């Protein structure tokens, strides 16, 4: 049986409520999910028919082994999504919890595993507060890049003067343009020299190794470089 979002929520609620107490009653689930008792009873009947819970009339509710496995999987997704929304995207707690509850039912296995890997990376990162995460926080609050990011964004090939050289750091372009520039020989790590610039700033004649290339200014702006010390 493919469970609905609602039924998965019931299994998760039984698991969560049961973590804080030895027994789970219908009224506990009502309080947790903020639904009517009749809705809980109806859901429990469906879950019981599918071998996911044990519930005797007016008695306690208990997850079966199969039901607990599903509930733990849903709960794990919820905690992971909440952590990502709250700690990485900086979403307020109440909204993060609500959104995690909705997302937990639809995320594919592949996306969830990658999200877990990303959070593991963030948690194990040698930097207590990675620069990129701090820069993102700054951008959220001010809608502008921190000074160090602005400096990097500004340091592109279009601002290099004729006669000057720089080291290609990366190509910050869409896939098609990036591939075309790579095919032309614009390779990160190589040294590029600006030979001359047209009067209106376009095109720009550059030299990489022993050959010349002519780039449009908008192309040169996508090539991030760093000064040669």
The neighbouring-strand residues paired with 208 are 192, 211
What's the mean per-residue pLDDT of the chain?
A: 88
First to last CA, the chain: 65
How sure is the predictor about 204, in pLDDT bands with cuts at 50, 70 and 90? very high
Q: Read off the pLDDT of each residue in 17-45 and give the average, rounded to a whole number.
A: 89
User: How high is the pLDDT of residue 151?
Assistant: 63
Rounded Cα distance between 4 and 165, Å, is 61
Segments in the chain forming alpha helices (H): 5-20, 26-33, 37-49, 65-83, 93-103, 109-124, 131-142, 147-154, 175-183, 217-220
Q: Read off the pLDDT of each residue in 35-61 and give the average, rounded to a whole number.
A: 90
Q: Read off the pLDDT of each residue in 57-74 and give the average, rounded to a whole number.
A: 90
User: How high is the pLDDT of residue 10?
Assistant: 93
Written in H, E and C, the secondary structure of 180-228 is HHHHCCCCCCCEEEEEEECCCCCCEEEEECCEEEEECHHHHCCEEEEEC
User: How high is the pLDDT of residue 12?
Assistant: 94
User: How high is the pLDDT of residue 123?
Assistant: 81
Q: What is the largest CA-CA distance in the chain?
A: 87
Rounded Cα distance between 38 and 47, Å, is 14
User: Is residue 49 over pLDDT 80?
Assistant: yes
User: Is residue 1 over pLDDT 80?
Assistant: no
Burial of 203 (0-12, 13-18, 19+ CB in 10 A): middle
The tens digit of pLDDT for each residue in 70-91 reads 999 999 999 999 999 998 899 9
Rounded Cα distance between 90 and 96, Å, is 9
Parallel, antiparallel or unpaired: strands 53-55 and 61-63: antiparallel
Domains in the chain: ranges and CATH: 1-130 (1.10.10.10), 154-227 (2.30.30.90)
Q: Return the exposure string of 93-116: e unless at least 16 CB atoms fall within 10 Å of the residue's CB, then b.
A: eeebeebbbebbbebeeeebeebe
The tens digit of pLDDT for each residue in 145-166 reads 777 766 666 688 888 889 989 8
pTM of the model: 0.62
User: How high is the pLDDT of residue 39?
Assistant: 94
User: How high is the pLDDT of residue 155?
Assistant: 83
């Amino acid at each position: 049986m493919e469970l609905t979002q609602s039924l998965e929520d019931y299994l998760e609620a039984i698991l969560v409520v049961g973590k804080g107490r030895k027994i789970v009653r219908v009224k506990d689930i009502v309080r947790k999910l903020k639904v009517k008792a009749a809705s809980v009873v109806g859901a429990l009947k469906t879950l019981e028919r599918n071998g996911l819970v044990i519930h005797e009339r007016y008695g306690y509710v208990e997850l079966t082994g199969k039901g607990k496995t599903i509930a733990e999987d849903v709960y794990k997704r919820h905690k992971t999504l909440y952590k990502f929304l709250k700690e990485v995207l900086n979403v307020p707690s109440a909204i993060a919890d609500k959104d995690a509850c909705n997302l937990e039912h639809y995320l594919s296995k592949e996306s969830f595993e990658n999200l877990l890997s990303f959070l593991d990376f963030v948690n194990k990162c040698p930097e207590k507060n990675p620069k990129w995460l701090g820069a993102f926080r700054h951008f959220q609050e001010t809608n502008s890049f921190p000074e160090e990011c602005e400096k990097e964004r500004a340091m592109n090939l279009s601002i290099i003067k004729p006669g000057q050289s720089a080291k290609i750091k990366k190509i910050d372009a869409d896939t098609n343009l990036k591939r075309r520039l790579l095919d032309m020989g614009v390779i990160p790590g190589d040294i590029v020299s600006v030979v001359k610039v047209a009067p209106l700033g376009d095109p720009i004649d550059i030299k990489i190794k022993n050959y010349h290339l002519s780039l449009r200014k908008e192309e040169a702006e996508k090539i991030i470089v760093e000064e040669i010390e």
